[in-house]
Chain A
Amino acid sequence: MDWGNIFGNAIGEIISPTTAAYALAAIGLGVHFGYTGLLNFGQAAFLLIGAYAFAIPTLAGAPIIVAVLSAIICSVIFAFILGIPTLRLRADYLAIVTIASAEVVRYVVTTTGLTDFTGAANGLSGFKGTFAAINPIPEGRYGFGPFMYNEYDWWVRIVGWTLVVLASVLVFLLMRSPWGRVVKGIREDEDAVRSLGKNVYSYKMQSLVIGGVMGSVAGIIFILPRAVQPANYTTGLTFFIWTIMLLGGAATIFGPIVGAMIFWVVLSLTQGILYGAIESGALGFMTTTQAGQVRFILVGVALMLLVIFRPQGIFGNKKELSFSV
């Protein structure tokens, strides 16, 4: 087994753009669930919307700033469409409706009727030009050890992690303020907050929009190193983001970031080890495809154990557990 390679790949995941995208999406979900108590099981939809609303205008020739604005505006509109009917509902209904809405948008972009816009099941590609064009890094390969990347890969990483940091700062500023107090109050008991004269519905909507825009921007980062494929936006994606958020601690600033890093490093490690073991014949009964599936079994089991035994996550305060209901 090539341990150097296995660890190299795993370490590389720490700063990979995918990790940054998941971290950002988890920060947004943390605003929803961790701070406001909204059971959003449709975070994948925000990533999807960010991805398509960025890629489609870009492919139509729009400059990058327009494409980014389009992604943000579309996610705000989607948050409103999602929020208006659901934010009055009981928490568990909200979960079902958000997961359903996420599936609806996925079905819609996959439908063959929209092939000209969305590429249907094939998705979209060839939208990286505008982002690459504003890359200030000269061509070449940079870095050391496992962190050797070309100028584009570095550019994606730098932008991605900068956005993660900005989002974290924003969340920090919001949550230490009276605004944050109101949404945390809503998480605990919205009727009580209502009885104190706060427009609960409006705060929930603000929270949904903020977390949703973060998800949408995460959607852009997510596709910059790859193509847009509708199959990536299943409920599975939402559940991974949940796992990451709960891993780090739902109502914490650094939780989602560290959660995303751990998640991807561990996934990469298990993949490397399982594949290595299969190649060396130690796991003769398993194919490499099956090894890929074992990792998802582990994700499921890890999610269960985490929620049962450490619901506050790694960083969460034991007293401030992440579940009030």
Chain B
Amino acid sequence: MSNLDKNPVQSPAAAVTHPLVKGTVEPGCAKVDPIVIADHVTRQFGGLKAVDVDHLEIPRGQITALIGPNGAGKTTMFNLLTGFDKPNTGTWEFDGKSLAGVPAFKVARSGMVRTFQLTKSLGRLSVLQNMLLGATGQRGEGLFSSLVKPLWRRQEEENTVRADELLARFKLDAKREDYAASLSGGQRKLLEMARALMSKPELIMLDEPMAGVNPALTQSLLGHIKNLKADGTSVLFVEHDMHMVMHISDWVIVMAEGRVVAEGPPETVMKDPAVIDAYLGAHHDTDLGDLMDDGPNPVEVALEAERKAHDAHSEEK
């Protein structure tokens, strides 16, 4: 689209390099150590091309933010990568293994675990049971071995210890025995994230983890995400909160209208005209100088407005 065409011409950042990147920094650039590589992934809904990504690589061991206005195709991209939806075209690999056409549960088992934008806590299971469900390789989950408790008691105890640790870290330990249905929206987001961590994933994909989470908690959540990176887990997250994006991400990928329109380290990507285009529409008259002023960043203003609209929408559901 027009954004893409004019980007290399207008942007002085075109020739920039970055330690994470092989070659120059540009939309769809190759990474030094990618964990996910996707090629020609498209997904059409009727006449609408929700996702149309030519090439995308996600760096290993880093925190990558996927941003873009509502309807940009971020959630759809998540669905495609994790096997929850089938693309019209495209291939992708995770950790060197092709995942195209692999069912969702196998994707998760291979170490790529996602959370959902609209929380999917299991309401009539207790918080602890929710957590235990996240653990992998459980012997007690086999039909016949489940009948003989000695076969799985030890493992269950170990998983419970781990679940309790995570619950404590996410400040959900007081709710351990409550039904998940009784949690607040923000607590459910936390539970979902903690549950995903039970499986010790290599890559965790969080779809709007902060939406609806109490601001007092977001700080500690940021800490958790950073810890994940320290433990060697790669993180890919969708977020509308620019402070968070700026604060913790090592890399930012921007989607608009199904395409990757820009990527780069957070400091520079915010100033990319393609990003401003994406959020404010192609025919605005902000010039680049405004972005350097101390005034509010127009991207952030736009994002903030969107996030509010979005939250209002989520509450309806």
| Chain B positions within 8 Å of A324 at CB level | 123-124
A192 touches B105 (CB 8 A): no
Q: Are B152 and A196 in contact (CB under 8 A)?
A: no
Query: In the complex, which of the residues A170, A178, A199, A320 contacts B132, with contact meaning CB atoms closer than 8 Å?
Result: A178
Contact indicator B105/A197 (Cβ below 8 Å) = yes
Query: By the criterion CB–CB under 8 Å, are B141 and A196 in contact?
Result: no
B134: chain A residues at CB < 8 Å are 196
Residue from the list A181, A191, A206, A319 in contact with B129, Cβ < 8 A: A181
Q: Nearest chain B CB to A187's CB is how many angstroms away?
A: 8
Size of the chain B interface, CB-CB below 8 angstroms: 43
Residues of A within 8 A of B181 (CB): 319
Whether the pair A179, B146 counts as a contact (CB closer than 8 A) is yes
**Stretch touching chain A among B43-51, B113-121, B260-268, B305-313:** B113-121
Within B230-254, which residues are at the interface with A (CB < 8 Å)? Answer: none
- Residues A177 and B124 in contact, CB atoms below 8 Å apart: no
Known A195-B196, A197-B136; contact A185-B122, beta-carbon cutoff 8 A:
yes
Q: Please give the distance in Å from B315's CB to the nearest CB on chain A.
A: 20
With A174-B147, A177-B147, A178-B156 given, is the CB distance from A192 to B140 under 8 Å? no
**Set of chain A residues within 8 Å of B138, measured between Cβ atoms:** 178
If the complex has contacts A178-B140, A179-B143, A197-B199, are A192 and B124 also in contact, measured as CB distance less than 8 A? no
* B152 and A189 form a contact (CB under 8 A): no
User: What is the size category of the interface that chain A forms with chain B?
Assistant: 20 to 34
Q: Which A-chain residue is minimally distant from B144 (CB atoms)?
A: A179
Query: In this assembly, does A173 line the interface, its C-beta being within 8 Å of a C-beta of chain B?
Result: yes
Of residues 192 through 218 on chain A, the ones whose CB sits less than 8 Å from some CB of chain B are 192-200, 206
Interface check B108, CB cutoff 8 A:
yes
Q: Which of the listed residues A179, A187, A324 has the most CB atoms from chain B within 10 Å of its own CB? A: A179
User: Which residue of B103, B121, B156 contacts A192 across the interface (Cβ within 8 Å)?
Assistant: B121
Does B82 sit at the interface, judged by CB under 8 A? yes
CA distance A195 to B114 in the complex (A): 6
- Are B122 and A192 within 8 A (Cβ)? yes
Min CB distance B234 to A, Å, is 17
Q: How far is the CA of A184 from the CA of B40 in the complex (A)?
A: 38
In the complex the two chains form, is A198's CB within 8 Å of B105's CB?
Answer: yes
A181-B129, A195-B108 known; A188-B123 Cβ under 8 A: yes
User: Is B296 in contact with chain A by the CB < 8 A criterion?
Assistant: no
Give the CA-CA distance A193 to B121 in the complex, in Å.
10
B149 proximal to A (CB < 8 A): yes
* Chain A residues near B108 (CB-CB < 8 A): 194-197
**Which residues of A are found within 8 Å of B125, using beta-carbon distances?**
181, 184-185, 188
- Closest-by-CB residue of A relative to B159 is A178
List chain B residues, Cβ under 8 A from A174. Answer: 143, 146-147
Asked whether A194 lies within 8 Å of B141 as measured between CB atoms, the reply is no
Is A182 part of the binding interface, using a Cβ–Cβ cutoff of 8 Å? yes
What residues of B have a CB within 8 angstroms of the CB of A187 in the complex? 124
Tell me if B289 counts as interface (CB < 8 A to partner A): no
Q: Which 7 A-B pairs have the closest CB atoms?
A: A178-B140, A179-B146, A192-B120, A177-B146, A197-B108, A188-B122, A197-B109
